[in-house]
Structure 1
Amino acid sequence: MNVCGNTEKLAQQVSPLGKYVLITGCDSGFGHQLAQRLDERGCNVIATCLLERGSGATELKRVSSERMRVLCLDVTSDNSVGQCMARVQSIVGEAGLWALVNNAGTMPLGDIEFYSMDDFKHTAEVNMFGMVRVTKSFLPLIRKCQGRIVNVTSVQGLVCTTHCAAYNISKFAGEAFSDSLRMEMARFGIKVSIIEPGNYGGGTGMLGNMETHRKNYDRMWREASDDVREVYGRQYLEDCYTKLIAAARLGRKDLTPVLDCMEDAVLAATPRHRYLIDGGNSLFDIYCVRGLVFITLFADVLARLKAFIPTPLYDYIAREYL
């Protein structure tokens, strides 16, 4: 499992000049900051945002160079992806698309019995089918210059946690799609990399927007069956919300290590197949620890040696510590 951070030397880069890079989910978080970074490096960035007149799109237009285009894209819509594809084709012309960064994502939280089927479906539409939909559409442009595809999954595409099933399912699917895609695209010279951030929820909006999660918990309680309400009780969701606030505080707010790896995947002459990136704002990231020996025997093993530890031990650690 490869690890990449701002303390590690990145690979030799190719020249960014004249290279077109399309990034999804640039409204905030990783996508927003990556768009600015690659624009500063000299790439021709096509930053796509869900909200065409939202604060994220407006800010990118304000601070970017004339090379950057900010386009509207809803990765859950065939029509939106098709329209975006037509715009991009007219922009890149014969140069083709050097890199596609599938970054758009959503993270609803809740227990399986509180999730609605729409919660599962929408999460899959954004995190998994959105990745597939956008990739299939833009592959002809990527093939023109033997470019690369960078798919953002998560450490939670490697290990499961409680209260996060919809997200876990979609990220595991993203891992599988990326591995299959990498093997199939090798014959065309297209490289595929996977970005697997650890706990960066405090800096991406995934855990940073507590108002959204508060409304989500309230909705789940309203829509829950009488049986689920009786078994769990309202206090259970209140306790979950309290834990979520604590988890957001532990999430690393500085996104630099992830941005370093994303840049490497886009511009390295030989990018890595996957980048597992430690997060957290303490000595270690409980999801993908690499430093402390004692903790490594437990938490680090979840992401790196999960297949070799007994399931009861894994379940205990996941329930008690994640």
Structure 2
Amino acid sequence: MTTSTQIQRLAIVTGASTGIGRATAVRLAADGFHVLAGVRKRSDGDRIASSRIEPIILDVTNDEHIAALVERVAQDPAGRPLSVLVNNAGVAVNAPVEVLSLDDWRFQFDVSVFGQIALIRALLPTLLSTRGRVLNVTSVGGRVAMANFGAYSAAKFAMEAVSDSLRREVEPFGVAVVKITPGAVSTNLTESGLAAAARVTDTMTPEQRRRYAELSRAFIAQAEGFARDGVSPEHAAAVISKAVNARRPKTRYTIGRDGAMFTFMPRIVSDRLLDAMLRSQNKSLAQEKR
């Protein structure tokens, strides 16, 4: 339900070109916020623009883009304060640790960690003044690091730590920090992840191809399963809306049954048992692609 208070407030959603980010921008606009939707291309912005969704060209690794966004918030023509930052922008670079180049590791962290931190740091003075909230979209990969997901999970684990530290630093001053933990969501991040994995596979030596053949088949089957069986971006956006609008939000909201399961599992299962379970799952997935 829209309230007069919400209509007078701004929300920023990064990575709003597609998937969870786009659906979240639409949902928060319906909730009554004026949404500054971070997109990489003007054509993406044209597709999402509406009376309450204002596309902003935003590459979170670009300092000039971040500075322009801060200026846009400060000079809002309607005088609306910034209430919400949804850090959703991210990439998925998936390959075995042995195979993935350091440039790919750096790219994963530049977008999914350092870009998020840069945006938080730039906007935090404003959010402190408005007693706003920060929502960081992490992943079940930030709770359980599966084979082939080393770089992606490392970045998500890092954002788990950043979120916890930030929450303990700023909640005494009225800023809520919330972790959003999706499981399988049907988005085109799956497609881009498959494309990145294929590019990396092309650089493998023949020995590496043999070593990781089963793992590669399992990864493809898993990604196809995410696209086929994952919850919709709109479902994820509804959870994010709940966290945004809660009077006293929880520190974490999970999305999907697997999101809840993988968040809880490391607390009750030993590392060795979890290794065996994931190895068995990979064997079953690899069988699908034979």
TM-score, scaled relative to structure 1: 0.79
Q: Structure 1 226/35 Cα, relative in aligned 2: closer, same or farther at 3 Å? A: same
Alpha-carbon distance change, 276 to 77 in structure 1, aligned in 2, over 3 angstroms: same
Question: Which residue does the alignment assign to 2:40?
Answer: 50
Match of 1:174 in 2: 159
Post-superposition Cα deviations, 1:18-45, rounded to whole Å, max 9, x if no partner, equal 0110111101011111111111222111
CA contact (8 A) 1:20 1:43 kept: yes
What is the CA-CA distance between 1:174 and the residue it aligns to?
Answer: 0.8
Matches within 5 A, 1:223-242: 223-225=203-205, 228-229=208-209, 231-232=210-211, 235-236=213-214, 239-240=217-218, 242=220
Match of 2:202, as an amino acid? R
Instruction: Provide the residue aligned with 1:27 in structure 2.
Output: 17
1:45 maps to amino acid: V
Counterpart of 1:274 in structure 2 is: 252
Instruction: Report how far residue 15 of structure 1 moved.
Output: 4.1
The 2-side partners of 1:140 and 1:266 are apart by 19
Q: Which residue of 2 aligns with 1:9?
A: none
Aligned: 1:37 with 2:16: no
CA RMSD, Structure 1 to Structure 2 (Å) = 2.5
More helix as a share of residues: 2
Write out aligned runs for 1:178-217 (5 A): 178-200=163-185, 202=186, 204-207=187-190, 209=191, 212-213=192-193, 215-217=195-197
The 5 Å alignment of 1:236-315 reads 236=214, 239-240=217-218, 242-278=220-256, 285=257, 287-288=258-259, 300=261, 302-315=262-275
1:244–1:306 CA distance, 2 compared to 1 (3 A): closer
| Contact 1:14/1:267 (<8 A) preserved | no
Instruction: Say if 2:93 and 2:197, in contact at 8 Å, map to a contact too.
Output: no
Structure 2 residues without counterparts, runs of 5 or longer: 283-290
Indicate how the Cα distance of structure 1 residues 41 and 217 shifts in structure 2: closer, same or farther if over 3 A, else same.
Answer: closer
- Secondary structure at 1:16 match in 2: helix
From 141, 154, 165, give the equivalent of 1:156.
141
Percentage identity across aligned positions? Answer: 28
Looking at structure 1, the residues matched to 16 and 112 of structure 2 have their Cα atoms a distance apart, in angstroms, of: 14
In the alignment, what sits opposite 1:16? Answer: 6
Count how many residue pairs are aligned between Structure 1 and Structure 2: 281
CA distance in 2 between counterparts of 1:194 and 1:47 reads 19
What amino acid sits opposite 2:188 in the alignment?
A: G
Match of 2:200 in 1: 220
Letter in 2 for 1:185: V
What's the counterpart of residue 292 of structure 1?
Answer: none
Q: Contact 1:15–1:267 at 8 Å: present in 2 too?
A: no
3-state SS of 1:149 partner: strand
Q: 1:193 to 1:214 in 2, by over 3 A?
A: closer
Kindly indicate whether the alpha-carbon contact (under 8 Å) linking 1:128 and 1:170 is maintained by their aligned counterparts in 2: yes
Q: For 1:123-176, what per-residue CA distance to the aligned partner results, in whole angstroms no more than 9, with x for missing partners?
A: 111111111110000011112211111110011111111111111001111111
> What is residue 75 of structure 2 aligned with on the other side?
90
Secondary structure, counterpart of 1:123 in structure 2: helix
TM-score under structure 2 length normalisation: 0.87
